[in-house]
């Protein structure tokens, strides 16, 4: 086990506060019979088949699981359509005129879409995709802000069987291009720009730069900010969303019957090498996972108003803004902007305005709210909230308690959900009517999921000890492969323990069987709940003409969870000064996006290396976090450390 995990273990709070669900919550919960865990454990296939039947299938599946490790196929023979399940099936019954989406733009503009209206928009968008030459199996890259057209685009792809690849709007032109090329998309959907804290995110300008030299033939452009954007227009390539939409027939587009194992989408995430991985999710299994967890973990009822503050550019937005809630027929809130625009009470104002009952957000935001103080939520009526959730990183008990007291008025259960882009839906999380929660623990695997914490040899560790978190059985919404790189898929996730999925997180299980996630054990940093590979940032830095070598680490940060510190050696004759620090930070922003901007850049003559020339990141982390240094006996030149410690202090 890495020393980093041991360190986490040492500092982990001993937590024995326990919050059981209230009798009234338990009574009304969708799942309140504890035998579900045992039943699912004894016959996971029967459990998942039962869940799968909550969806509408055009043709029923004939086999639940085919497991040829590391490749799983679920619901074989079944045919269904994800957009049909998310929208069209609700257009036929009592939910037809139910609100699907309350949308609120950052400047305060609003839009309400019933399931019927959403369905028409999806059909219109599907007509546009067809008109632009998109066919079943084609990839479409989507680079949009949090506006309704993003949902229309995703569902329109799903409806006609095209594979969507959504790229978060905070990524740079370079990052977008890399993802377009890897997916080999011929259509890009973007907007003139997006709003952020009153300013503009130049999406179209980034897109123009990104598509050069890619297979993209057409760029479909939503006018989000109108005259405020000064985007160039390429008449032969750019298509105005609204003009084209107006010309489309008003007829429904039939939902393409997809094989359960047909690819639904790609979503890129960071790994341990510089190249992001295109995580592949398929239609049947993914949708079953998303839908099931809405009903079980989020206890969703028809009367709920649900809000996940995640951006659709990440997996949380795919599963818990689009496919999960809509397939469950929810009324949800979707918000375009920042939590402090135009004021720090914006989120609470929205919860009051729409009567939100379930609120799902990230620990980094909770810590930000804590910093701002309880006077903001106190100004609003949050009494409608009955369930809270968190995701993205371990939640520190202080933040958990604050969320519980100030937002959940001491009553709403908190579901801390551990999962990943790769897992598709929540894997370790309480069922809120059944499981007593402990602040900081994601509690236990959900029914149908088998986890363990193991040592280097794959043997389960003693309760209380740290080890590798693993998932020991296949599950429906697991990634199927990495787009175009099955070998990397095998190695990354199944290379260490054959047939057993390795998420890359450290964990420990306590005496009660509760899981405590300790953070990544690989070279992935979690900044504000966003995964960033250290190698990605390093290769961006060494791409700068002044840089000879770079080592990037994540250090503990009060609000962001982790922040990026870059140690950089410069080329002969280059002088490291403040201006160069600023330039290098900006260079990383240009290469990857603002989310990867280093908090500190420290120039050093040498980087600490082992005798086999491996950079000792652990030492760098220790320096950045001001810890007593661990074992340096393998270090080639120990004097490097003293120098680094001095430099790091100077930079503060």
Separation of alpha carbons 265 and 157, rounded Å: 9
CB nearer to ligand WTA: give 279 or 326.
279
Smallest gap from Cβ 342 to ligand WTA, in A, equals: 29
Q: CA 475 to CA 553: how far, in whole Å?
A: 33
Residue from 207, 202, 206 nearest 188 by CA: 207
Q: Does 57 sit behind a cis peptide bond, omega within 30 degrees of 0 on the bond before it?
A: no
Phi and psi at 253, nearest 5°, equal: -105, 125
Of 125 and 526, CB closest to ligand WTA: 526
Indicate the helix (H) or strand (E) that contains 129. Answer: helix 115-131
Looking at the Cβ atoms of 241 and 320, the one nearer to ligand WTA is: 320
Distance from C-alpha of 279 to C-alpha of 294, rounded to nearest angstrom: 22
Q: Which residues of 516-542 are buried (b: 16+ CB within 10 A; e: fewer)?
A: bbbbbbbbbbbbbbbbbbbbbbbbbbe
Q: How far is the CB of 72 from ligand WTA (least distance, A)?
A: 19
Are 283 and 259 in contact by the 8 Å Cβ rule? The answer is yes
Nearer to ligand WTA, 508 or 520 (CB): 520
Q: How far is the CB of 501 from ligand WTA (least distance, A)?
A: 12
Distance, in Å, from the CA atom of 310 to the CA atom of 323, rounded to the nearest integer, reads 13
Q: Compare residues 157 and 521 and give the one whose CB is closer to ligand WTA.
A: 521
How far is C-alpha 579 from the geometric centre of its chain's CA atoms?
34
Output the furthest CA–CA distance in the chain (Å, rounded).
73
Decide whether 345 or 439 has the Cβ nearer to ligand WTA. Answer: 439
Decide whether 288 or 391 has the Cβ nearer to ligand WTA. 391
Q: Look at residues 113, 111, 122, 51 and name the one whose alpha carbon lies nearest to residue 88.
A: 122
Closest separation between CB of residue 419 and ligand WTA, Å?
Answer: 5
CA distances from 103 to 106, 118, 122, 177 (A): 10, 12, 16, 29
Q: Which is nearer to ligand WTA, 6 or 98 (CB)?
A: 6
Select 477 or 604, whichever has its Cβ closest to ligand WTA. Answer: 477
Q: What are the C-alpha distances in Å from 596 to residues 171, 223, 340, 530, 564?
A: 9, 28, 21, 9, 7
In contact, 413 and 432? CB cutoff 8 Å: yes
Least distance CB 500 / ligand WTA (angstroms): 16
Cβ closest to ligand WTA, residue 76 vs residue 559? 559
Task: Please choose, from the candidates 311, 286, 310, the residue with its C-alpha nearest in 3D space to the C-alpha of residue 167.
Answer: 311
Residue identified by tokens 């040498």 is 606
Q: 99 or 453: whose CB is closer to ligand WTA? A: 453
Smallest separation (angstroms) from ligand WTA to the CB of 17: 17
CB 561 within 8 A of CB 363: yes
* Minimum CB–partner distance for residue 36 and ligand WTA (Å): 21
Q: How far is CA 374 from the centre of its chain?
A: 27
In the complex, the smallest distance separating the C-beta of residue 442 from ligand WTA, rounded to whole angstroms, is 5
* Contact indicator for 446, 464 with CB cutoff of 8 Å: no
Give residues in contact with ligand WTA (CB under 6 A).
Answer: 269, 314-316, 391-394, 416-421, 442, 503-505, 517, 519-520, 526, 531
CB of 422 to ligand WTA, least distance (A): 7
Rounded to a whole number of angstroms, the minimum distance from the CB of residue 520 to ligand WTA is: 5
| 213 DSSP 8-state letter | T
The least CB distance from residue 277 to ligand WTA, in Å, is: 10
């Amino acid at each position: 086990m890495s020393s980093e995990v041991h360190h986490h273990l040492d500092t982990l709070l001993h937590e024995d506060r326990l919050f059981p669900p209230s009798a009234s919550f338990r009574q009304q919960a969708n799942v309140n019979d504890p035998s579900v865990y045992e039943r699912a454990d004894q016959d996971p296939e029967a459990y998942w088949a039962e869940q799968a039947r909550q969806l509408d299938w055009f043709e029923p599946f004939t086999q639940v699981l085919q497991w040829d490790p590391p490749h799983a196929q679920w619901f074989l023979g079944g045919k269904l359509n994800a957009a049909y399940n998310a929208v069209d099936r609700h257009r036929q019954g009592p939910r037809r005129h139910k609100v699907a989406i309350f949308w609120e733009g950052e400047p305060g503009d609003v839009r309400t879409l019933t399931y019927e209206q959403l369905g028409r928009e999806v059909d219109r968008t599907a007509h546009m995709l067809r008109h632009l030459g998109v066919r079943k199996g084609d990839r479409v890259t989507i680079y949009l802000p949090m506006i309704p057209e993003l949902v229309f685009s995703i569902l329109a792809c799903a409806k006609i069987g095209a594979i969507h690849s959504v790229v978060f709007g905070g990524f740079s032109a370079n990052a977008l291009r890399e993802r377009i090329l890897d997916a080999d998309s011929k259509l890009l959907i973007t907007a003139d720009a997006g709003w952020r804290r009153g300013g503009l995110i130049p999406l179209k300008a980034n897109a123009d730069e990104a598509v050069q030299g890619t297979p993209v033939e057409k760029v479909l452009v939503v006018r989000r900010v109108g005259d405020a954007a000064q985007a160039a227009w390429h008449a032969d390539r750019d298509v105005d969303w609204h003009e084209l939409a107006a010309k489309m027939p008003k007829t429904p587009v039939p939902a393409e019957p997809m094989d359960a194992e047909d690819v639904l989408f790609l979503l890129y995430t960071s790994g341990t090498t510089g190249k992001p991985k295109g995580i592949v999710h398929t239609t049947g299994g993914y949708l079953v996972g998303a839908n099931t967890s809405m009903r079980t973990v989020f206890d969703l009822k028809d009367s709920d108003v649900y809000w996940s503050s995640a951006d659709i550019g990440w997996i949380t937005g795919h599963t818990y803004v689009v496919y999960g809630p809509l397939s469950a027929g929810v009324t949800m809130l979707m918000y375009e902007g920042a939590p402090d625009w135009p004021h720090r009470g914006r989120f609470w104002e929205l919860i009051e305005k729409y009567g939100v009952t379930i609120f799902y957000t990230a620990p980094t935001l909770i810590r930000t709210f804590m910093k701002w103080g309880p006077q903001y939520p106190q100004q609003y009526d949050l009494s409608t909230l009955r369930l809270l959730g968190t995701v993205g990183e371990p939640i520190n008990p202080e933040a958990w308690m604050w969320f519980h007291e100030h937002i959940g008025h001491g009553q709403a259960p908190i579901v801390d959900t551990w999962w990943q882009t790769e897992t598709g839906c929540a894997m370790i999380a309480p069922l809120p009517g059944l499981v007593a929660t402990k602040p900081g623990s994601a509690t236990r695997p959900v029914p149908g999921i088998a986890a363990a914490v193991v040592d280097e040899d794959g043997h389960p560790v003693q309760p209380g000890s740290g080890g590798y978190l693993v998932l020991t059985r296949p599950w429906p919404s697991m990634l199927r492969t990495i787009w175009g790189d099955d070998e990397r898929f095998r190695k990354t996730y199944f290379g260490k323990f054959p047939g057993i999925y390795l998420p890359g997180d450290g964990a420990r299980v306590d005496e009660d069987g509760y899981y405590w996630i300790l953070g990544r054990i690989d070279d992935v940093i979690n900044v504000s709940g966003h995964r960033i590979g250290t190698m990605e940032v390093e290769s961006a830095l060494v791409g700068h003409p002044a840089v000879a070598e770079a080592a990037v680490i994540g250090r503990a940060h009060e609000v962001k969870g982790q922040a990026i510190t870059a140690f950089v050696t410069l080329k002969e004759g280059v002088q490291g000064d403040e201006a160069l620090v600023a330039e290098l930070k900006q260079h990383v922003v240009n290469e990857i996006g603002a989310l990867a901007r280093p908090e500190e850049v420290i120039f050093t003559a040498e980087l600490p290396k082992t005798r086999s020339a491996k950079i000792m990141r652990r030492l760098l982390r220790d320096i950045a976090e001001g810890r007593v240094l661990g074992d340096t006996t393998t270090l080639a030149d120990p004097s490097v450390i003293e120098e680094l410690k001095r430099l790091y202090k100077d930079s503060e």
